[in-house]
Amino acid sequence: MTSSQLTAETGQAARFSAILFDLDGVLVDSLRVVERAWRRWAREQDLAAEDVLGVVHGRTAREVIAMFTPHLDATEQALLVGDYETEHRGELALLPGAAECVGIARQGRWAVVTSGTRTLATTRLATVGLPVPEVLVTAEDVTFGKPDPEPYRRAAAALGVPEGECVVVEDAPIGVLAAKRAGMTVLAVTTTHAAAALGHADLVFPGMADVSEWLGPRAGAPRPA
C-alpha cells in the first residue's frame, strides 16, 4: 500500500502508543559514509564491493562479515568497519523531516532501533543534532538482528508498550520485515530502496517530511512516557 492509498477510515483508526525509528536512512543520511567504509573493507578482503553493498543495509556488521569472510573474527572486523565509518562523520546529514518526526515522537514514548553499534548510533545522532532516546536498541543488545523481530520486540518491551501499538519507520526491506514480524505497523521511506522493495510495509512514503505529515495528526494523544 502506498501513502496515496490510505483511506480516511484507516487514517482515523491509526492510533499508536510509541514510535520506533531505524537510524540510517531514516533519521540520518549516512549512505555515502556507510558505502565508502564497506567498499574499503571489501577491497581489503579482495571481495566484489557491489556484492557486499547489496546486503549491508539493515544488517549488523558482524552478520555481513560472517557471510563473506567466515574465517575472520567478525567482532574484530566489525570494529574495523566502524572505525572506517567514523573517519567521515562530517559527511553525515539530517534527513529532511527527521527532526519534525522526532519532535512528534517525543510527545510520548519513542525509541531508535539500529543494526549499528551503540557508539556509531550515539555519534550519528549527536552529529546531526538529534537527542539520544532513553531506549536505544543496537547490535550489542540483541542475539538475532533484523530481519528477526527481536530488535523491535526488545524496544517495545523496554518502552512498556504492546507490540501491536507501535509504529515503526524503516528504509530497508529486512528492517520492514523485522517490524512486521513483531506485529507492528510499518511506515517505509524510499531513501535507500525503491518502493517496490518495500512492499511488506503498511505505507510507503517518498521521505521523512511526508512521514511527519502522516504522524502529526495521529500522535495527538499518545500514552504518557
For residue 216, the model assigns a pLDDT of 87
The total of other beta-carbon atoms located within 10 Å of residue 46's CB is 7
For residue 215, the model assigns a pLDDT of 93
Backbone angles phi, psi at 138, to 5 degrees: -125, -175
For residue 93, the model assigns a pLDDT of 94
For residue 222, the model assigns a pLDDT of 42
**Among this protein's residues, is 83 annotated catalytic?**
no
The total of other beta-carbon atoms located within 10 Å of residue 51's CB is 11
For residue 85, the model assigns a pLDDT of 83
For residue 57, the model assigns a pLDDT of 81
For residue 15, the model assigns a pLDDT of 67
User: What's the CA gap between 153 and 156, in Å, rounded?
Assistant: 5
| 22, 29, 202, 210: the active-site residue | 22
**Among this protein's residues, is 210 annotated catalytic?**
no
* Helix, strand, or coil (residue 72): coil
Per the structure block, which three cell numbers stand in for 192?
535507500
In tens digits, the chain (225 residues) has pLDDT values of: 343 333 333 443 456 899 999 999 999 999 888 889 889 999 999 999 999 998 888 788 888 999 999 999 998 998 898 888 887 767 899 999 999 999 999 999 999 999 989 998 999 999 999 999 999 999 999 999 999 999 999 999 999 999 999 999 999 999 999 999 999 999 999 999 999 999 999 999 999 999 999 998 876 544 434
Q: Where are the strands (E) in 82-137, listed by range? A: 93-94, 109-113, 135-137
For residue 8, the model assigns a pLDDT of 33
User: What's the CA gap between 148 and 217, in Å, rounded?
Assistant: 31
User: What's the CA gap between 59 and 24, in Å, rounded?
Assistant: 11
The label of the residue with cell 507490540 reads 163
For residue 14, the model assigns a pLDDT of 52
C-alpha torsion sign, points 56, 59, 65, 67: negative
pTM of the model: 0.83
For residue 6, the model assigns a pLDDT of 39
For residue 167, the model assigns a pLDDT of 97
